Chain A
Amino acid sequence: MKKVIVFLLLATLGVYLAITFFNIGFGDPHFVNGVKDFYLKETVENLHVSNTVTSIVVNFRGFDTLGEVTVLFLAVTALGSILYKKRHEVGARSVLFSSSSVVTAGSKLLFPAVILLGVYVFIHGHLSPGGGFQGGVIIATGFLLMLLAYENYSVSHTWLSIVESLAGITFAGVGLLGFMNGGTFLQNFLPTGVLNNLFSGGVIPIIYIAVGFKVAAELTGVIYTVLHEKGVK
């Protein structure tokens, strides 16, 4: 009996989803001539940004990006609050991967290159593929490399918090400045420059640099916390 009820409920849900998806009508004129043309035209002609994805993520849908950053911040805070006590009791690395001298020397060589790649990705977010999130994650993997290779390598939690807070304040502050100058939150108020130049796109590079620092600090904190968590073995 239970199985029949579950099956009926799932079938009802499936039918409703099927009807909904069938009625979307991909390929309709509504989709082909919709808001896409406005984005493509506005991005190149008025904002002078080469990467349309970046202009949508940071400019047209900038408020959503602020929400995403907030979600990541809350997730990291929750993780830290759950694992903090155990880490405090132990005080040392819980996971030790023994590494040879080749690994340690190689990771010391690779670390600056990885950091440089991450910084490049988020500084050129409005010119080439990539942006704040991607660059931040690449920087965090650089710190992960060092944490795995060296047993006594440590990252200061205070500095991570300071960088994270300053980056978040910068994002919200730029949004509020747009509110004062232009009229809406996160509105562009800087000169947009010349297309394909590094200094173009108004506030987009500033916001993406802030997002890059914030994501890098948060994910480095996550890796550090997980590495120092004492397992139940």
Chain B
Amino acid sequence: MIYFVLIAFLLLLMIAAAIYSISQKDLLYATLATGIISLVLSILFYLLQAPDVALTEAAIGVALTTIIFLITIRNTVRFENDEDNFKSEVK
């Protein structure tokens, strides 16, 4: 019983983080939310007895992808509203 409650809670957390990362205009927070999705997904893989996949998801999804996105945001723009300014500057 407690197992199913835990899995349901983790799934709801994943969906909430996904909706947050789509609706958020601040790309830094959106990237961190996608990192949380990967973290919860790796916990779920571990609970479903797939430790190999959990390890992959934790290493690639949580650490590497998030950091590469953060570096990209640092190099470009942080807010989604800045898109128009960004385009005009490139021209």
A residues touching B (Cβ–Cβ < 8 Å)? Answer: 51, 53-54, 94-95, 97, 121, 129-131, 133-134, 137-138, 140-141, 144, 148, 219, 222-223, 226-227, 229-233
Contacts and interface: CB of A to CB of B under 8 A. Distances in A.
A232 B89 contact: yes
23 contacts: A53-B52, A54-B52, A121-B55, A129-B52, A129-B55, A130-B52, A133-B56, A134-B56, A140-B64, A141-B59, A141-B67, A144-B64, A222-B68, A223-B64, A226-B68, A229-B75, A231-B74, A231-B75, A232-B75, A232-B76, A232-B86, A232-B89, A232-B90
A130 B71 contact: no
A5 to B, nearest CB: 27
Nearest to B74: A95
A130 B58 CA distance: 11
A137 B75 contact: no
B63 A137 contact: yes
Contact of B59 (A97, A134, A222, A226): A134
A141 B55 contact: no
B52 A137 contact: no
B72 interface: yes
B64 A134 contact: no
A5 B73 CA distance: 38
- For the complex of A and B, list the 6 residue pairs with the smallest distance between their C-beta atoms, beginning with the closest: A231-B75, A129-B51, A137-B59, A134-B55, A141-B63, A53-B52
Interface residues of B, number: 19
Nearest to B51: A129
B75 to A, nearest CB: 3
Contact of B52 (A134, A144, A226, A233): A134
B19 interface: no
Given A129-B51, A134-B59, A223-B67, 17 more contacts: A121-B55, A129-B54, A130-B52, A134-B55, A134-B56, A137-B56, A141-B59, A141-B63, A219-B64, A223-B68, A226-B68, A226-B71, A231-B75, A232-B75, A232-B76, A232-B89, A233-B75
B79 to A, nearest CB: 14
B47 interface: no
A227 B74 CA distance: 10
Contact of A226 (B60, B63, B72): B72
B68 A137 contact: no
B74 A130 contact: no
Nearest to B89: A232
Interface string B73-91: 0111000000000100110
A134 to B, nearest CB: 4
A133 B60 CA distance: 9
Contact of A94 (B54, B55, B75): B75
Contacts of A131: 52
Contacts of A130: 51-52, 55
Given A94-B75, A232-B76, A232-B89, A141 B52 contact: no
